[in-house]
Homo-oligomer: A and B are copies of this chain.
Amino acid sequence: MRFGDKETAMSLPHVERKESDDTHTVRVGDALFGSKEIVIISGPCAVESAEQVKQIAELALRTGTKVLRGGIFKPRTSPYSFQGLGRKAIEILRNAADEANLPIVSEVMDSSQVDEYESIIDMLQIGSRNMHNFSLLKRVGKSNRPVLLKRGMSATLEELLNAAEYIMNEGNDQVVLCERGIRTFNDFSRNTFDLTIIPKIKQVSKLPIIADPSHGTGDREMVIPVARAAIAAGADGVMIEVQYNPDKALSDSTQTLYPEQLVALVEDIRKIAPAVNREFK
């Protein structure tokens, strides 16, 4: 397999695209990642209250969102920051999703959380900080739940694909990749959204890939143009943080869209999709 200049010695039998391969599809509820249809995942950064999530689930339905996101455990830089509501959050999220008939995606941070929550969470998210946590990758590889694997903050293409290979080598082939920004010298945004990995993944791997412009930029004003760009570059979907009172959010407030911004973004995606031979209904 070739990466940039060099032929890698590594074998990636599960993730590599051979010429005859179609993109691999992964189903989560009504969403089919890797199909012709663009998938939108939306929801709050962290689950904070039943009222909050209920409102967002209704917005999700209205905007064509196919998967509801919401953090129950939040990996935070400081041990003294809000760490998520945990068990209480999962109940809130599950109830709201069931009422709206939507599947949920939420992050798991270690094997014991997988044990406890894999029956409740429809799609298990591996956060960027855990992309190299091989014990966790192997554990979700033994789950029968689809996995959303976020790229590490400084992960190379080779490392991202090998992380997926760790999961798939354990038997679980329902893996969707997610670009969420990398660490560079740039200081005008929290991370540098690496758009170029989207077409590159399409070239070398059969796995679907989506974009997370919320974490990828850390700036509400940049989420919409970057989301549009990701679709134009061939992404299979986007994951968007949205909330009714983003300025009061307990985490990620500066990057969370207002509801009307999500509505506008969905309209943009509807227009761009046909230009890249995709659709969003």
Contact = CB atoms under 8 A, between A and B. Distances in A.
Interface of A: 3-6, 10-11, 75-80, 109-113, 129-130, 132-136, 153-154, 156-159, 162, 165-166, 169, 182-190, 192-200, 202-203, 216-217, 221-222, 225-226, 228-234, 268, 271-272, 274-276
B188 A228 contact: no
- The residue in A6, A110, A162 that gathers the most chain B C-beta atoms within 10 A of its C-beta is A110
A199 B227 CA distance: 11
Given A129-B133, A165-B79, A196-B217, A184 B185 contact: yes
Contacts of A158: 77
19 contacts: A3-B187, A3-B188, A11-B80, A77-B162, A109-B134, A110-B136, A111-B112, A113-B135, A129-B132, A183-B185, A184-B192, A184-B194, A186-B197, A188-B196, A188-B197, A188-B200, A225-B234, A229-B233, A268-B275
Contacts of A221: 199, 203
Contacts of A5: 6, 187
Contact of A222 (B112, B188, B193, B199): B199
Given A77-B10, A231-B232, A225 B198 contact: yes
A135 B157 contact: no
Given A158-B77, A271-B274, A182 B188 contact: no
A38 B60 CA distance: 33
Nearest to A83: B134
A113 to B, nearest CB: 8
A198 B11 CA distance: 35
A249 B4 CA distance: 20
Nearest to A213: B196
Given A193-B196, A229-B233, A132 B75 contact: yes
A129 B3 CA distance: 22
Most buried by B among A135, A182, A217: A135
Nearest to A234: B225
A199 B186 contact: no
Contacts of A229: 195, 229-230, 232-233
Nearest to A204: B188
B222 A186 contact: no
A196 B185 contact: no
A270 to B, nearest CB: 9
State the 7 A-B residue pairs at the shortest beta-carbon distance, nearest first.
Answer: A129-B132, A154-B154, A271-B275, A229-B229, A232-B232, A110-B135, A199-B225
Contacts of A230: 229
A111 B188 CA distance: 32
